[in-house]
Amino acid sequence: MITPWQLSRRHLRMQGSDTPSLFGANPWKTLTDVYYEKLRLVAPEAASKAMEAGSYGERGIADWAETIFGPLRRSQFRVYHDPRDEPGRPYIPLAMNLDAIVRADGYPWEFKKVSQYPAKDWGEPGTDQVTPYVYVQAHTAMIVTGKPLCHVAAELGDGRWLCMYPVPYDEEFGEELKRRVRSFWYGNVVPKILPNEPVSIGIAGRLHREPDTRADVQPDLVTAWQRAIKRRSRAEKLRMGRRDAVITALGRAECTQEFRDGELAGTEATFFENDKGTRQLRLRKVGR
């Protein structure tokens, strides 16, 4: 759990939740989002119920990890100190709020609670086949601790449950990560030059706006946005029409026959009642 003090100082350096954006590996945050956050131009993000539930879930994973590796120091903060730092050479502004480190050897831990569908992106337990986002985070953890391995423990919602992923340090990747941190910090944050990436809707909604101001926006951007809305509306009407045609063809049945040829081979369309007492047309693989 990140403390209020840690939150108040996140703008001073790149953090483990920021570095994946340097590689386009963050599905929730673009590099422009990180830029606005480092300049403190956005309102603080309110903790959601999902975030709170995730933090409690990670505590259980940490308890499990201690049964394997022994006592852990939880919620640790580390700052990177480059051994090659020289007077006048820009330092690498990198730090991380670590989920835990092993008391005995100082190796870092990352805990992840992953729901059913995102879990499909995780590879075989016992390997380093984590998602790109976690891979970058793990390297950030190894850089700030100076350790050659990061333990990643994940509770996967696809039935595999508690799994271990040892991620070893890749020297070439680690150097590239540090290079990108330095490039972004001194090429964008310090001179206040906006990155050439779009802002996400989440950050845009929290961005501090300047009252009574206007911006010169290219009309083509607004035109393209409106055309996209119209295309989506037409596509949605077509989708609903095609759906209703299949439901009508079902008559009073709950399921189609098994399709054996073409792109539908091995599937069937179902119209079963769910736990909420409603029905939804779905295409599923036979036998699932």
Is 101 inside a domain boundary? yes
* Least trusted range by pLDDT, from 24-33, 53-62, 113-122, 237-246: 53-62
Domain edge (last residue) among 144, 176, 206: 206
Hey, what are 109's tokens? Answer: 């831990």
pLDDT, tens digit, for every residue of 134-168? 999 999 999 999 999 999 999 898 888 889 999 99
Same domain, 14 and 88: yes
Range of the domain at 244: 220-285
Is 253 inside a domain boundary? yes
Is 215 inside a domain boundary? no
**Residue 190 has what pLDDT?**
94
- Say whether 239 sits in a helix, a strand or coil: helix
Is 212 inside a domain boundary? no
Same domain, 180 and 278: no
Q: Who wins on pLDDT, 2 or 186?
A: 186
State what percent of residues in the chain have pLDDT above 70: 90
**Residue 94 has what pLDDT?**
93
Average of per-residue pLDDT values in the chain: 87
Domain edge (last residue) among 175, 206, 237: 206
Residue 283 backbone dihedrals phi, psi, to 5 degrees: -110, 125
Same domain, 253 and 129: no
Hey, what are 154's tokens? Answer: 């994940």
Same domain, 200 and 57: yes
Of the pLDDT bands very low, low, confident and very high (cuts 50, 70, 90), residue 3 is low
Of the pLDDT bands very low, low, confident and very high (cuts 50, 70, 90), residue 19 is very high
**Residue 11 has what pLDDT?**
79
Same domain, 165 and 23: yes
**Residue 222 has what pLDDT?**
93
Same domain, 110 and 199: yes
Same domain, 246 and 135: no
* Least trusted range by pLDDT, from 32-41, 109-118, 119-128: 109-118
Of the pLDDT bands very low, low, confident and very high (cuts 50, 70, 90), residue 130 is very high
Residues 6+ apart with CB under 8 A from 132: 20, 23, 25
Position 51 pLDDT exceeds 60: no
Contact 30, 21 (CB under 8 A): yes
Hey, what are 285's tokens? Answer: 């693989």
**Residue 6 has what pLDDT?**
60
**CA distances in angstroms from 270 to 12, 119, 252, listed in the order given:** 53, 24, 12
Hey, what are 194's tokens? Answer: 């906006």
Q: How many CB atoms lie within 10 A of CB 255?
A: 13
Q: Dihedral, CA atoms, 37, 40, 46, 52, nearest 10 degrees?
A: 50
∠ CA 190-193-198, rounded to 5°: 125
Of the pLDDT bands very low, low, confident and very high (cuts 50, 70, 90), residue 286 is confident
Same domain, 151 and 91: yes
Report the alpha-carbon distance of residue 52 to residue 7 in Å, rounded: 15
Position 198 pLDDT exceeds 60: yes
DSSP 197: S
Hey, what are 217's tokens? Answer: 């926006």
- Say whether 44 sits in a helix, a strand or coil: coil
**Residue 72 has what pLDDT?**
86
Same domain, 182 and 238: no
**CA distances in angstroms from 198 to 31, 33, 36, 170, 278, listed in the order given:** 8, 8, 12, 30, 39
* Least trusted range by pLDDT, from 81-85, 209-213, 254-258: 81-85
State what percent of residues in the chain have pLDDT above 90: 57
Contact 151, 69 (CB under 8 A): yes
**Residue 213 has what pLDDT?**
92
Is 142 inside a domain boundary? yes
Same domain, 28 and 171: yes
**Residue 4 has what pLDDT?**
63
Can you name the residues that pair with 13 across neighbouring β-strands? none
Burial letters 88-121, b for 16+ CB under 10 A, else e:
eeeebbbbbbbbbbbeeeebbbbbbbbeeeebee
Same domain, 258 and 122: no
Of the pLDDT bands very low, low, confident and very high (cuts 50, 70, 90), residue 118 is confident
Q: Who wins on pLDDT, 248 or 56?
A: 248
pLDDT, tens digit, for every residue of 62-115? 888 888 878 888 888 899 887 665 555 568 899 999 998 888 888 999 999 888
